[in-house]
Amino acid sequence: MTTIDAGAVEQSFRAALDRLVEQVKADRSILAAILCGSLSHDTVWARSDIDLVLVTVDDRKAEKDAGRSLNADGVNVHALLVPRSRFREMAEGSVGNSFVQSFLAKGRLLYTHDPTIAALCDRLREIGERDTQIQLLRAATGALPPVYKAHKWLLTRGDLHYTALWILYAATPLAKIEVMRRGLLADREVIPQALTLNPAFFRTIYTELLDAPKTRPGVQAALDAVDGYLAERASALFAPLLAHLREVGEARSCTELEDHFRRNFDVEGVTVACEYLSDQGLIGKASTPVRLTRTSTVQLQELAFYALD
């Protein structure tokens, strides 16, 4: 597609959107329209669609967060219908830097009949420090399994291509870390974002792995770069986990840790994070007694971890 064609496509999309919004404005049960997705902040092409969030009046009988696929002069429009009370929950209660926040915060309020909705949109753009710490924990925890897989395949099989693939799987959570640590919102195109922020690192673990022939030194260099990146930032990335262990002041089993972070922060897989921190010498490894079932008569030892300071 040429530059002229791309410009023509975007112009046709915006014209279709303008006509659709004029129709929607006449529906007083729709309080606001928020343009999200590529048309709001990126580049569209012929097979793009328009993402539109429509805030509706509260209706107990209405389907929660219903979606509609609309046709606007031949352009596909994905319209998400969100009741006002639900939108307020999303703005006030959604975890900072979550996909929902990123999706909405990068959007553009097209119109509203309710000034409080404009204020809520502004609030969505705020990234709280505590929320960012939780998202960093989630991203770092998500990066560890593919990094371990990469180590395994390089060490046990010497398979350069499969090792490189696992490093590339880790590139997305690592890119989220890079973006969020700079106080920015991580969106769906987070790797290009991170490439502009830390080009040397992401060229090593992403671009060069894709473009260059796979050699043992090159793949090893990428894996070493990932290890160094995580180790250098470990105390900050896993701060909520370290703080929790310091606060409880004694060993906590993996079951207790998983339950705490799943229930309070919607973070899964903290056991692997604890194993990593233990390997880094940042926390201690221990065990606590456990019975496998309520009727078990045999007591075993469950893996547990504790703060060192």
Residues 109 and 16 in one domain: yes
Number of domains in the chain: 3
Residues 193 and 265 in one domain: no
Residues 293 and 223 in one domain: no
Average pLDDT over residues 78-87: 88
| pTM of the model as a whole | 0.73
**Residue that terminates a domain, selected from 95, 124, 153:** 124
Average pLDDT over residues 215-227: 97
Mean pLDDT of the chain: 88
CA–CA dist 212, 215 (Å, integer): 9
User: Which residue range is the domain that position 58 belongs to?
Assistant: 3-124
Over 90: is that where the pLDDT of 144 sits?
yes
Tokens standing for 23? 């129709």
Tokens standing for 190? 């987070």
Q: What is the CATH number of the domain that holds 278?
A: 1.10.10.10
Residues 72 and 181 in one domain: no
In this prediction, residue 64 carries a pLDDT of 60
Residues 152 and 228 in one domain: yes
In this prediction, residue 38 carries a pLDDT of 73
**Residue that terminates a domain, selected from 124, 139, 164:** 124
Over 90: is that where the pLDDT of 240 sits?
yes
Each residue of 244-266: pLDDT tens digit? 999 999 999 999 999 999 999 88
Q: What is the CATH number of the domain that holds 86?
A: 3.30.460.10
Residues 32 and 87 in one domain: yes
Please report, for residues 49, 168, 169, 189, the alpha-carbon distance to residue 165 in angstroms, rounded to integers and kept in the order given. 30, 5, 6, 19
Residues 28 and 40 in one domain: yes
